Structure 1
């Protein structure tokens, strides 16, 4: 039987002998950015889509929730498939599904059909995201893996930074359907780029157990307390972030009357915050270890989430009273995501695809809950978004309790040893 649990590989000074060049890292960043590409580009179009399809705000917000359903569940399948057959062919099939789903969205005539095609689109996109993280784990270990994930997340953050800005212009000049045709083009370009990079999981390192057996062993992975702790910190944050994604178009555009073309500027502030936080994390992880940086991120996440809830309930500070705490909250993604994923995969190098998929499924599964709650309790105010973000921010911090204090000290000591 394949060994399920193995010792961590820390400290690790660098990469494997097959460490990638910057071109491959750029392709991996593009793959990792498919979740953002698939959502952020069309955020400014949501009010327009509601009018065009004769749907209310809550139903349009469910296009995000529907996407997250496919994105969450699909990863559970792609992880074992890639561990058995390799990363590149699995991603290629996923990209084909993404293109088909995006075309279906562009041709949709009502909101229910749109939601269905969004699920198909997500089933394909999730392969790129989950397996790009596994590819990083194929090539790097320990704190170095956390550094590289921070680097990739910083690069791919360009997509959500420019996505709403570009999306707003496309809506203004060509309509919302043109957004999905744009996604078709992006999918085809990425598919071509995929075949210019090598496979990161050689045949001798692949998991030979059947897909069915691998799927059943997800239950075994969930018995590990530290894995749940790492997955929980990132998953609760994702729930809050997707509540932000679902709630801010209507909060900013409808309630505070921000022009649709300028929505992307406010949304982009959070992306800049994520990029800066990732760069700081990149520098500090070797010194303090990824667990310490994760603890710092979750503490600030909880504080900013509570302030956001107060702002949405009282209206204190108007637009900027809401934008400021949301900026801090979203920025903490730069400290939480890379470090939580690295911690989750550290103990399971031989099952990196399955663990990455499980973590991703939990992240986007709770993201679905977060965005769904905002849509279900929509009342014409930002308050539903605020209380969802508050609960998820506190939940992210509480999950740190599943990580033993000595584990945090261990990874910090590994960082000190590395730079000594």
Structure 2
């Protein structure tokens, strides 16, 4: 893919680029997860019902995903930078106002605005990554690190939220979100240059064109397999390790963090592996690692009592597969849509959210969520589906 001329303005080193990009990736997800520990106390704090408070969670997720279908094409029309800065500013201001309100109706409205801002910032961030790094070797490292962040914020966010709420109250959570976003905006205002290809302002792409692309489906399914594996892991780990293996809260947190460490270390070497195996080879190996992890989980469930060895060690294998997968799935899914990356990115995340939310939840509900079977089943099924999709592409080629 040819490098757009605007991208000559993007001269950031890899560490500087991560400092620009990562805050928007983190905060969009963190606004959901850091708030979870205070949800039980919010009906009393706002003088409302638990149902209304639940809407502040459900509607945030809905707007975060659906909003990208608006902001993705908009970023193709007017540029990544204005969508990013506008969305981030909306997020920051609404977060600060959330900390100041005691009205349930206003709180719900501000959460919708916060979600819309997060959606705009998230899609502009990944469209920029696609514009700049699709043809660069650093792209694998950027994608794998951002994918790791998207996986681990749901795990670590609630811990941070509980600590903040215990020491400073629930309003401090939203003050922190707003303050961090405003700091990220100041950094981006100086260093985030426009990367939208000139042709994309006039380019049009239909939903049918994207959804009919076999590469889009194969790599988006792979991304869904990777992100969903962590979703199912996060959903079942407390029940397996605390309720059945007898881990304390601290022991659970430290054990959980080992999977994060594995992902961070693996991300450091992702570019080297992708350079050696290519996108299709890396995705195939990532899925094979998910399948191997699923096999080890199944053996652990049958032969061992719930323990670090039976549950966490297989997750280390899956974690390496997640990193190897997320290092290539965005490039693979979006390669055909370089001039309209914003629109394609929106579909990429929308489809992934639907697959993870629906299929991942089904595995947790239909299999025994107190065991490793939901994680083993999801990794096995999604790994096989992705490998079949890759095989069909190769057969056509």
TM-score (norm: length of structure 2): 0.78
Q: Are 1:20 and 2:14 an aligned pair?
A: no
Give the corresponding residue for 1:32: 25
Does 1:218 pair with 2:207?
yes
Q: Does 1:403 align with 2:396?
A: no
The number of residues matched between the two structures is 388
Aligned to 1:348: 337
Give the 5 Å matches for 1:229-378: 229-249=218-238, 252=241, 258-260=247-249, 263-305=252-294, 307-308=296-297, 316-318=305-307, 320-369=309-358, 372-373=361-362
Moved more, 399-408 or 27-36: 399-408
Q: Which moved more, 1:21-30 or 1:370-379?
A: 370-379
Q: Is the 8 A contact 2:151 2:230 kept in 1?
A: no
Displacement of 1:183 in angstroms is 1.6
Deviation string 1:80-112 (CA, Å, 9 cap, x unpaired) is 100100001101222234335545765798999
**Is the CA contact (8 Å cut-off) linking 1:154 and 1:275 kept in structure 2?**
no
CA–CA distance in structure 2, aligned partners of residues 378 and 158 of structure 1:
22
**CA distance in 2 between partners of 1:231 and 1:277 (Å):** 21
Closer, same or farther: CA 136–273 of 1 in aligned 2, 3 Å: same
Tell me how far 1:291 sits from its aligned partner: 1.5
Residue of structure 2 in register with 1:72 after alignment: 65
Aligned partner (choices 79, 89, 96) of residue 82 of structure 2: 89
Q: Distance in 1 between matches of 2:251 and 2:228?
A: 25
Secondary structure of residue in 1 paired with 2:77? helix
Decide whether the 8 Å contact of 1:68 with 1:119 is kept in 2.
no
- Residue 387 (1) aligns with residue 381 (2): no
2:124 paired with 1:131: yes
Distance 1:312 1:200, change over 3 A: farther
1: CA distance, partners of 2:287 / 2:54: 27
* 8 A Cα contact 2:245 2:306, kept in partner: no
Unaligned segments of structure 1, at least 5 residues: 1-7, 411-420
Contact kept, 8 Å, 2:147 with 2:326, in 1: the verdict is no
Q: How does 1:40-51 map to 2 (within 5 A)?
A: 41-42=34-35, 45=37, 49-50=39-40
Distance 1:287 1:221, change over 3 A: same
The answer on whether the counterparts of 2:165 and 2:173 sit within 8 Å (CA) in structure 1 is: yes
CA distance in structure 2 between the partners assigned to 1:347 and 1:150 by the alignment: 17
Quick check: 1:67–1:115 contact (8 Å CA) kept in 2?
no
**Cα distance change on mapping 1:396 and 1:130 into 2, 3 Å:** farther
CA distance in 2, matches of 1:225, 1:62: 36
Match of 2:193 among 177, 193, 199: 199
Give 1:243 shift.
Answer: 2.8
**C-alpha displacement of 1:24:** 3.6
Query: Residue in 2 aligned with 1:4?
Result: none
How far apart, in 1, do the equivalents of 2:292 and 2:365 lie?
25
Q: Are the counterparts in 1 of residues 144 and 324 from structure 2 also a CA contact under 8 Å?
A: no
Show structure 2 runs of 5+ residues with no match: 45-49
Distance 2:358 2:122 in 1: 19
Cα distance in 2 for residues equivalent to 1:255 and 1:154? 30
In 1, the alpha carbon distance for the partners of 2:180 and 2:389 equals 40
Mapped partners of 1:398, 1:70: distance in 2? 28
Aligned to 1:146: 139
Separation in structure 1 between the aligned mates of residue 360 and residue 61 of structure 2, nearest angstrom? 9
CA distance, structure 1, for counterparts of residue 376 and residue 103 of structure 2: 30
Deviates further, 388-397 or 72-81: 388-397
Q: Decide whether aligned partners of structure 1 residues 240 and 82 sit closer, same or farther in structure 2, where only a CA change above 3 A counts.
A: same
Per the alignment, in what secondary structure is the counterpart of residue 85 of structure 2?
A: helix
SS in 1 for 2:201: coil
Say whether the 8 Å CA contact 1:147–1:281 is kept in structure 2.
yes
Q: TM-score, normalised by structure 1?
A: 0.75
* SS of equivalent to 1:187: helix
Offset of residue 295 of structure 1? 0.7
SS of residue paired to 1:199: coil
Distance 1:400 1:207, change over 3 A: farther
For residues 323 and 273 of structure 2, what CA distance do their matches in structure 1 show? 12
Report how far residue 356 of structure 1 moved: 1.5
SS in 2 for 1:195: helix
Match of 2:172 in 1: 178
